[in-house]
Amino acid sequence: MTMPATRTAYPPSQRLEPSPDLVTKRRIPLSRRVPMTLSRISWYLLCSLLAVTMLVPLLWMISIALKPDSNILQLPPQLLPRSFQWSNFIRGPEQIQFPQLLANTVTVTVLSVFGSVASSMLAGYAIARIRFPGRNFWFYLFTFSIFVPGIVTLIPIQRMFFAMHLIDTWFPLILPSFFGNPVFIFLARQYFTSIPRSIDESAMIDGAGHWKIFTQLMIPLTKPLWITMTIMAFQGSWNDFLNPLVYLNSDSKYTLSLGMANFMGGLNEATPQFNYYMASNLLYMLPPLVLFFFAQRYFMMGLGTLGVSQK
Amino acid sequence: MEAFARPAGRGLSHRRRNTVTAYLFILPTIVGVAVFMIYPLISSAFHAFTKWDGLSPARWTGLDNFRYMLFDDPTFWPSLRATAYFVLLSVPSGIVFGLALAVLLNRVVPGVKLFRTIFYLPVVLPSIAVLTLWKYIYDPLYGLANQLLTDLHLPTSQWLQSSRMAMPAIVIIGIWGVGGSMIIFLAGLQNVPVEVYEAARTDGAGPIRMFFAITLPLITPIILLQLVLGLVLAFQAFNQVAVLTNGGPGTSTTLFMYKIYSDAFGSYPNLGLATAEALILFVIIMIITGVTLRTSSMWVFEETK
């Protein structure tokens, strides 16, 4: 059974360069072997240089997060903290009631991840595997809505939630995700289409309906798909700034993105707790980072499959 | 009789049952598209021609919003110019650097996975966390940017506080997150059949020749995808400006999306004007994507099967 997303990492390019022992066995002249190693060394040098450049901002953030208060307004600034002030990780989060905002963000994120993945899986399954009148029409309509910029719909939707007295609640952040995510439906449809029909045909002969096939056969079969969607939805919700900014007014309901932006916005030379800020910022980054290290494959896959499926 | 009648009856009801099931499965999405896309589009198309502050009912004013925008609004044209500048800087740089990194990392050597992870890392971080970090990096007095420039005896800059450097500074943050486009290019590069390279190598082609003669033409479909995605996203960039500059200094970073937001949700909400501007943005995005896709046949390589 072939599935688009589970293809093993990078088989074709493995054949690009023959393995080292093959090279030596064929006794390639020294003149050709030396530039190989030279180019390899310069490749490592170049990549390391780029990697360090990429990491410098993050390392600098960690350094600020550990700096004692007396270090913050020092001129010229020091790259490394003079001593480590670990209490930044306690007092920083206290400034913005971090635990409260974390609980808010987790609530919003968990509910909207569940909503968008469940509704999009159902829609993707139906469009890919059930023959019914209007199926192409709906697929095109759902796909079209990918291209409608969020700002065009934001103002009327905001007025709608305003009329429903749902401003300054989490409903506007959660509710829409239960009604399907066009990008996810597109991905799900591609994935479901690639699964051989014989699987559900034999289940149908055994008398299984679509609900049973979907829940008992398809969900286990499409694990890479819904893990990828879960990660994409998690990132979308965890990182969302514009919607909380538009819908939430009271500090106690803020999500972390909003709280962190306000925290930074309030810092200046008179209140220079940048060390507190960077410590809190590290905590804010931690959940997506942990998720990334556990599910790295799936993180990169969502975009990868989207790119490949366009071919 | 019954035995004969049943299969036919079952077949018919089976098909109908399929249709019912399918519509139950896509029902949430149909409702979502109706409530969160079609209704808002209709509402926007109407309210763009009204004076509307959100408190009192909207009043039909014909083309007034568009007339104001084009001729009287002091920030409309500057914000379009800032948006065009941002798009022209950020989209090509994303593609060039993303492709360069992907080509660099498209080999099988020990450690390549570590490099891929490191280059992808900034993409994983929440945008607000990244932007607030860079806001401090760009601080003229205490920031890392000027500190490093001073250490290297290079001229320093006011970065976000300079109307000349603010936009390039914002674009640099985007380049830091180029790992996202790198991953898409990597997936594309791995689809290029190896036999082609092997044939070219036996013909004596060098790596640069191979890149321009084989790699580049074969991944033009991915470049097109990246170009379209990049354009659509760049025209809607908002967080950068909201966190870093509030559109300033002057109007140097007033991206159009930020202007729409300020007109709609600022201290003097002008929802009619903001809706009209949102429609203009929609039309601009559609035209530019359309032109990109239409002209793509001139440079996108299509495999003849």
Q: What is the pLDDT of residues B4-41, one digit of tens each?
A: 444 444 555 778 888 999 999 999 999 999 999 999 99
Kindly give, in sequence order, each residue whose CB lies less than 8 Å from that of residue B14, ignoring residues fewer than 6 positions away.
none
CB distance A155–B147 less than 8 Å? Answer: no
Task: Output the CA torsion A136→A137→A140→A143 (10° steps).
Answer: -100
Q: Give the CA count within 13 Å in the CB-facing half-sphere of A20.
A: 6
Phi, psi (rounded to 5 degrees) for A56: -55, -50
**Is 0.90 exceeded by the ipTM?**
no
Kindly give, in sequence order, each residue whose CB lies less than 8 Å from that of residue A65, ignoring residues fewer than 6 positions away.
A88, A89, A92, A275, A278, A279, A281, A282
Distance CA A22, CA A33 (A): 12
Asked if residue B284 is part of any domain, the answer here is yes
Task: Report the CATH number that the domain containing residue B141 is assigned in CATH.
Answer: 1.10.3720.10
For chain A, the straight-line distance linking the first and the last C-alpha, in angstroms and rounded, comes to 21
Q: State which residues form the domain around B267.
A: 74-298
Asked if residue B61 is part of any domain, the answer here is no
pLDDT at B205: 83
B297 with B277: CB under 8 angstroms?
A: no
- Tell me the per-residue pLDDT of A100-126, one tens digit each, with 9 for 90 and over: 999 999 999 999 999 999 999 999 999
Nearest CB among A141, A178, A285 relative to B33 is that of A141
Chain B segment 97-156 residues within 8 A of A by beta carbon are 101, 104-109, 111, 115-122, 124-129, 131-137, 141-144, 147, 150
**B30 and B125 together in one domain:** no
pLDDT at B58: 85
Among residues A67, A2, A56, which one has the least CA distance to residue A274?
A67
A183 with A146: CB under 8 angstroms?
A: yes
Cβ pairs bridging A and B (under 8 Å): 279
Asked if residue B62 is part of any domain, the answer here is no
**Two tokens, residue B60:** 């039909």
Last-in-domain residue among B32, B47, B62:
B47
**B203 and B275 together in one domain:** yes
Helix extents (H) in A15-134: 20-25, 30-66, 69-72, 88-95, 98-129
**B8 and B113 together in one domain:** no
**B16 and B123 together in one domain:** no
Average of per-residue pLDDT values in chain B: 89
Fold of A90-309: MetI-like fold (1.10.3720)
> Which pLDDT band, with edges at 50, 70 and 90, does A310 fall under?
very low
Instruction: Scan for tokens 């959940």, then name that residue.
Output: A287
Chain A partners within 8 Å of B141 (Cβ): 75, 77
**B20 and B112 together in one domain:** no
B20, containing H or E segment: helix B2-33
What is the amino acid identity at position B84? Answer: A
- Our count of domains for chain B comes to 2
**B20 and B96 together in one domain:** no
Distance CA B252, CA B243 (A): 15
Distance CA A273, CA A279 (A): 10
CB distance A73–B142 less than 8 Å? Answer: yes
- Tell me the per-residue pLDDT of B50-86, one tens digit each, with 9 for 90 and over: 998 888 888 899 899 999 999 999 999 999 999 999 9
**B83 and B223 together in one domain:** yes
CB distance A211–B236 less than 8 Å? Answer: no
pLDDT at B304: 54
**B113 and B209 together in one domain:** yes
Reduce the secondary structure of A70-89 to three states and give it as a string: HHHCCCCCCCCCCCCCCCHH
Chain B partners within 8 Å of A15 (Cβ): 194
Among A23-27, A173-177, A211-215, B277-281, the range scoring the smallest mean pLDDT is A23-27
Distance CA A254, CA A91 (A): 19
For residue A8, pLDDT beyond 50: no
A276 burial level (CB within 10 Å; 0-12, 13-18, 19+): buried
**B230 and B119 together in one domain:** yes
Chain A interface, best mutation among B13, B47, B83, B133, by max A CB count within 10 A: B133
Length reported for chain B: 305
**B228 and B288 together in one domain:** yes
**B112 and B258 together in one domain:** yes
pLDDT at B5: 41
Asked if residue B165 is part of any domain, the answer here is yes
Among A154-168, A239-253, B19-33, B104-118, the range scoring the smallest mean pLDDT is B104-118
Distance CA B225, CA A311 (A): 9
Asked if residue B238 is part of any domain, the answer here is yes
**B270 and B191 together in one domain:** yes
Where are chain A's structural domains?
90-309
